Amino acid sequence: MNDLDRLYGEMKGCSLCRLRAACTQVVTHVGCTDNPKILIVGESPGEDEDTEGEPFVGRAGQCLRAALRAMGNINKSNCLIGNVIRCRPPKNKFPPDDLASICVGKWLLREIELAKPKRMLLLGNVPLKFVANMHGITSCRGQWYSIMGIRTMATYHPSYVIRCDGKGDMSVRSDFERDIAEVAGEIRKA
């Protein structure tokens, strides 16, 4: 068991904020905990994730995982995937900053430090804000930044991609898939 696995064990017992009382379980990151090539960070667990105990297993997760599979080189053997917060917020509404900051400060920043990923992919405005301290996913997506000394890209959250698909706007999906392809290319070089 490595330091990251120990952190996840500790995390599962977390009750530092009121979100824990409203969810079934703490949903930790899953995948490679030993020198991951990439850390993928979303927002928060939804109902499916809270039930299954694994991030990105619902519709948004299916969208993300399909895009990753299409690249052929990002999978659980080299990727760590999860969210900014680990407890499902009531009504799937991201909580106020003070609650999210507890999870970020206590868990996420330590996790990034222990994982030492080669690259990070931030999915949507929430991780862009809490990990990169940046705002505006539309203007930031598709570009590389150095965040905590890690080469990092932000792209749209898969749930936003699905919503845009439903409105007939396939340009968001194209951007999302292009961003994933760019990250996959970086992973091949790493």
Give me the domain span that covers residue 52.
3-189
Where residue 108 sits, what CATH number does that domain have?
3.40.470.10
* pLDDT of 61 higher than 90: yes
Bridge partner list, 80: 31, 39
Give the residue from 166, 181, 158 showing the smallest Cα distance to 73: 181
Q: What is the per-residue pLDDT across 94-107, written as a single tens digit (0 to 9) for each? A: 998 888 999 999 99
Q: What is the pTM of this model?
A: 0.96
Pairing of strands 144-147, 119-123: unpaired
Q: What is the per-residue pLDDT across 107-131, written as a single tens digit (0 to 9) for each? A: 999 999 999 999 999 999 999 999 9
pLDDT for residue 97: 85
Return d(Cα 179, Cα 26) in angstroms, integer: 29
- Beta carbons within 10 angstroms of residue 138's beta carbon: 10
Q: How many domains are contained in the chain?
A: 1
